[in-house]
Structure 1
Amino acid sequence: MKTDDTRMKHAPFWTVFFSLISLVWIFPVVLVLINSFKQKAYISRNPFLIPSGKSFVGIENYTRGIERTNFIASFGWTLFITVGAVALILICTSMCAWWIVRVNNRTAKTLYTLFLLNMIIPFQMIMFPLSKIANSLKLNTPWGMWVLYLRFGAGLSVFMFTGVIKGIPSEIEEAAMIDGASVTRTFLAIVMPMMKPSIVSVAILQTMWIWNDFLLPYLTLDLRKYKTISIAVQYLKGGYGSVDMGAMMACLVLAIVPIIIFYLLCQKHIIAGVTAGAVKG
């Protein structure tokens, strides 16, 4: 009882403390949103003031940013790359993790170790050979990017999925196979639904990474034909270091909004997964 009373006394302090920390994280996003409605001169002069009067330009920055960056096409290619790459990562790595856990022989353990090493090797060490290989194999296209992102996203995904699958009783799968279910149907109808919270968690992590990624598309994509949002925004820079800050802020807002919506829609699944794991434990 004393422990519970102590926790209740400290609860208001921790609430205020973490609320202040959350404001620190939210503040840059709010700052970008505010400045997306200002004239360029006022963004540099008074970046923290609310737009009003002469500084307020309405949606002028948004229209100019969309026109100068060909934002609609860039948004489409970014969405195409992100959805395809995340889907490929989820399907391939979840099946691979299931095989590693259920087979559990020397080959499976070696493969699992290689996936872990995949997370250790920094991207900077292989980015130039990767760019040359991507060009040689004609992977410098949006659909070729799916394969490249699978290579980089497989390590973390397999690591997370193997931990989840180890907690799924194998007797459930054996019962399904005894009833006549094939290996594919057992995985799709039995295993994957039980992995739903972890699949959503991995999907959110991979989506946020791929959607916002700049370096890999910049090094591998044929920029004469395809540009992602992060690359298109860079074209708002003019000569002699000049930058159209208003249009850039507007494009950044348009790029952030889909990710925020996606996270809010999937948040309940993450909470459900954490709660289920706590009850099982």
Structure 2
Amino acid sequence: MKSKISRIFGSGILSILSIFWIAPIAIVLFNSFKSKVWINSDPFSLPNGETFAGLENYKEAINGYDLLQAVFITVFITVVSVAVILICTSMCAWFITRIKNKVTKAIYILCIFSMVVPFQMVMFTLSKIANILGLTTPWGIVIIYLGFGAGLAVFMFCGFVKSIPKEIEEAAMIDGCTPLQTFFRVVLPIMKPTYISVGILETMWIWNDFLLPYLVLDINKYKTLSIAIQYMKGSYGRVDMGAIMAALILAVIPVIIFYLSCQKHIIKGVAAGAIKG
């Protein structure tokens, strides 16, 4: 009886907390269908016959502020960066786990240390170096994302690689596989749970990131979705709240759907690396 009561009580508390968590997104969603005047005067009311604006805010956000180009740039940066991070860090983790010496140990420590250093400590230096090296394009920022995303990825991949029996790799090499063939044909398929987990976490981070693209990219040519929303603020403080609300929904909904559809893989991947590693 006590266990049942505690479960009901815990479910009630979590339900209340979930309402507070979802409320801001719901408010933005409701306001994206309201006319601009009513968003400012009555932001917490539901759309009705008088305040309902249909899809006008979404049309204004897409056509008036060239949001589709920002979406394309964001998708390109996210997909390419995540792919590069997954391939490079998984190979690095496999190498430093199997080859134990001072160099690989130093590489691992540096990757872990990169997770501790706050971004604010390096952002001005990073911006200057990116300008000097010409990394102010969507292709160039992929390299920077690789550097900042390597710490967590290498840490998770190393934990999982330790669980893979060396005998499997030795058998592949006896059959004539080169180290690269052993990795891509044997090791990589086994690492699938951690690949999915790291991919989801990195995707959510890069998709929602504002500060790094704002500091690195040439804003006159390339705007990510988060930067484009920021630039919807007009001169003299004029703000098109309707278009901003619609743009926020267009930016948030894809990553929410992506996370909800893949969240079980995050738990599996983290548990696999933690328990087996």
User: Comparing 85-94 with 256-265, which one deviates more in the overlay?
Assistant: 256-265
| Alignment pair present for 1:224 and 2:220 | yes
Contact kept in structure 2, 1:33 and 1:250, CA below 8 Å: yes
**Alpha-carbon displacement from aligned partner over 1:241-278 (angstroms, at most 9, x marks no partner):** 22111100100101112212222332343354467679
Give the corresponding residue for 1:74.
70
Q: What stretches of structure 2 of length at least 5 have no aligned partner?
A: none
Distance across 2 between alignment mates of 1:193 and 1:121: 32
Distance across 2 between alignment mates of 1:170 and 1:177: 11
Distance across 1 between alignment mates of 2:172 and 2:201: 31
Give the corresponding residue for 2:232.
236
Contact kept in structure 2, 1:201 and 1:270, CA below 8 Å: yes
Q: Map 1:1-281; keep pairs closer than 5 Å.
A: 6-273=2-269
Contact kept in structure 1, 2:194 and 2:272, CA below 8 Å: no
Contact kept in structure 1, 2:160 and 2:272, CA below 8 Å: no
C-alpha distance 208-277 of structure 1, shift in aligned 2 (>3 A): closer
**Alpha-carbon displacement from aligned partner over 1:78-100 (angstroms, at most 9, x marks no partner):** 00000000100011001101111
Q: What stretches of structure 1 of length at least 5 have no aligned partner?
A: none
**Alpha-carbon displacement from aligned partner over 1:216-251 (angstroms, at most 9, x marks no partner):** 111111111111111111121122222111100100
Distance across 2 between alignment mates of 1:8 and 1:184: 54
**Residue identity opposite 1:134 in structure 2:** A
% same residue:
57
Contact kept in structure 2, 1:68 and 1:236, CA below 8 Å: no
Distance across 1 between alignment mates of 2:185 and 2:8: 45
TM-score in terms of structure 1 length: 0.92
C-alpha distance 272-252 of structure 1, shift in aligned 2 (>3 A): same
User: Comparing 232-241 with 53-62, which one deviates more in the overlay?
Assistant: 232-241
Distance across 1 between alignment mates of 2:46 and 2:99: 60
Q: Kindly tell me the number of residue pairs found equivalent between the two proteins.
A: 277
Secondary structure class of the residue paired with 1:112? helix
Secondary structure class of the residue paired with 1:53? coil
- Give the root-mean-square deviation of aligned CA atoms: 1.9
Q: How far is 1:193 from its partner?
A: 1.7
Q: How far is 1:144 from its partner?
A: 0.5
**Residue identity opposite 2:7 in structure 1:** A
Distance across 1 between alignment mates of 2:222 and 2:212: 13
Distance across 1 between alignment mates of 2:29 and 2:36: 14
